[in-house]
Amino acid sequence: MLVCLSANHRSAGFSLLERFSAVSVPSLEALIRVSAETAGGVVLSTCNRFEVYLDVESEAHFERFLPALAATLDSSVDDLRACTTVHLEQDVPRHLFAVSSGLESVALGEEEIAGQVNRALEGARDAHLTTSDLERLFQSAATTSKGVKAHAHLASQGRSLVSLALDLAGSQVLDWSRAQVVLIGTGTYAGASLKALQDRGVGRVGVHSPSGREHTLGERYEIADIEAARLPEWLSSADLVITCTNTETYVLGYDSVRNARLAPGSSERLLIVDMGMPRNVDPIVGKLDSVDLLDIETVRQHAPLEDLGATELARCIVARAAAKFEEERREHESARALAQFRGVVQSRVSHEIEKTGAEDKLAAAMRRLGNALLHPTTMRVKELTRAGRTEEVIAALNLLYGDGEPVPSRVDERGAAAASDALAAAAGEAERAPASCPFAGMLAATTAPRGTTALYSACSAACRSDQACRVR
């Protein structure tokens, strides 16, 4: 089963997220690798989100893994439960698809999160921690985020986190074209920061790599490359400094900023935007005269409220994608039992052909008959699986055609029962759905598209009362 443990800007404070982000992803991946409770896992760690996606045999296995995870995060199990949300089974794709689409971000519709989700999957692949279920989950998340971007146009409504920070900085930087900016960091987020600066018409930008590693930002964006020896000079004349690097130590301390401010010819006032997680700048720097420090916690407190109209279509797309993923997952769960059933029937047909010494034409006819007998059962198995009755299907096939070895299943019975109940109710609810629901017309058709009932179930509760399809 799939499990997600999530700590984000809604469930956890900034200091806690900062502490979690200080734990290296490789150390968490090593924990997942050696644990007997997990088959695989993906760690997603961003400036406003810490999430661990796991593939486990059962919820009990996850509970046994939790103490080791808490210890690695330097937390107690109780404290970890208090600041996180645990998503199980069908809630996992619904959550991840919303996350990757920017629906759960501080800046609604931010595009950076999709890349961060993809890189989390790539990291898990490199660590050999992905499973078939995790691969399908994250690949489906990538597809869903592209669909949201193409059809819901959330990016035009929302902003990236750095854009929100620059909006707040606008009260101090009156003329962006004359501002001198220092960017500390050369990663993916630095590129997003540069784009946001250029969109505002910033003329002079210098970039500094704390690690000293080579980068191509200067070539791509025609900006100055600041060596360590020249950083104090740039800091003294800068109007704005943006830090966005991954480091366990401060890249800007009290003394370095103080000395830069005391240098002759320093700018009248300096704004420092700390986008690092953990922090890149010592908080005491903000106490210096003529220095203002803006961090992620402050930025997210000023984030605009969600535009319900802008997110309506996006959430509907996410709900449909999650329902489709769940349908395919159930089919995958029953595939092994179905293959075993087909193997038994085909083996018996082959045995009869061999025993009777049937000629080629007769043997071919017997095989066609066997396949014809298999077909209705196969279709019925798929139908029941899509309806959330996978456990019943596997149990029935094991009982009738098993070889004594039960076919393992990781479907949560409560999840299957809940899905079955929801689908059973969907037929009656279809008549009460408003005409604007995207699934109502499909259900009324003589031949509804495959999976329509399951998709309708995903948003039927909201459609019962609203004039438009709103999936929350």
The pLDDT of residue 431:
40
CATH of the domain at 93: 3.30.460.30
**Would 351 be classed as within a structural domain?**
yes
281 and 382 belong to one structural domain? no
The pLDDT of residue 459:
46
218 and 95 belong to one structural domain? no
Q: Which of 125, 156, 187 is the last residue of a domain?
A: 156
The pLDDT of residue 437:
44
Q: Which of 131, 156, 181 is the last residue of a domain?
A: 156
**CB within 8 Å of 358: residues ≥ 6 apart:** 352, 366
**Would 48 be classed as within a structural domain?**
yes
37 and 142 belong to one structural domain? yes
Instruction: For residue 449, count CB atoms less than 10 angstroms from its CB and return exposed for 0-12, middle for 13-18, buried for 19 or more.
Output: exposed
Q: Which of 286, 301, 316 is the last residue of a domain?
A: 301
190 and 241 belong to one structural domain? yes
151 and 6 belong to one structural domain? yes
**CB within 8 Å of 95: residues ≥ 6 apart:** 4, 6, 87, 104
Instruction: For residue 201, count CB atoms less than 10 angstroms from its CB and return exposed for 0-12, middle for 13-18, buried for 19 or more.
Output: exposed
- C-alpha 292/C-alpha 261 separation (Å) is 12
**Would 472 be classed as within a structural domain?**
no
What is the residue type of 291?
A: V
The pLDDT of residue 173:
87
Number of domains comprising the chain: 3
- C-alpha 257/C-alpha 59 separation (Å) is 50
146 and 165 belong to one structural domain? no
88 and 151 belong to one structural domain? yes
**Would 255 be classed as within a structural domain?**
yes
The pLDDT of residue 221:
58
72 and 195 belong to one structural domain? no
361 and 322 belong to one structural domain? yes
Q: Are 459 and 471 in contact (CB under 8 A)?
A: yes
- C-alpha 452/C-alpha 369 separation (Å) is 32
385 and 252 belong to one structural domain? no
Burial profile 166-185: b = 16 or more Cβ within 10 angstroms, e = fewer: bebbeeebeebeebbbbbbb
Q: Which domain holds residue 142?
A: 2-156
**Would 469 be classed as within a structural domain?**
no
Question: SS3 of 439, please?
Answer: coil
**Would 470 be classed as within a structural domain?**
no
CATH of the domain at 264: 3.40.50.720
* Residue (of 25, 8, 13, 17) closest to 105 by Cα position: 8
Residue 393, sorted as left (phi over 0), alpha (psi -120 to 50) or beta, turns out to be alpha
In terms of pTM, does the model score above 0.85? no
Average pLDDT along the chain, 472 residues, taken 10 residues at a time: 93 85 93 95 92 96 96 93 93 96 83 92 97 96 91 62 84 88 86 85 88 66 83 93 88 94 90 90 94 88 62 86 88 77 84 83 86 86 79 80 52 40 39 42 39 42 42 38
**Would 383 be classed as within a structural domain?**
yes
List the catalytic residue out of 47, 316, 463, 469.
47
318 and 331 belong to one structural domain? yes
**Could you give phi then psi for residue 319, rounded to 5 degrees?**
-65, -40
**Would 84 be classed as within a structural domain?**
yes
The pLDDT of residue 310:
54
**Could you give phi then psi for residue 294, rounded to 5 degrees?**
-115, 120
- C-alpha 164/C-alpha 21 separation (Å) is 22
What is the residue type of 119?
A: R
463 is catalytic: no
8 and 79 belong to one structural domain? yes
The pLDDT of residue 428:
42
Length of the chain: 472
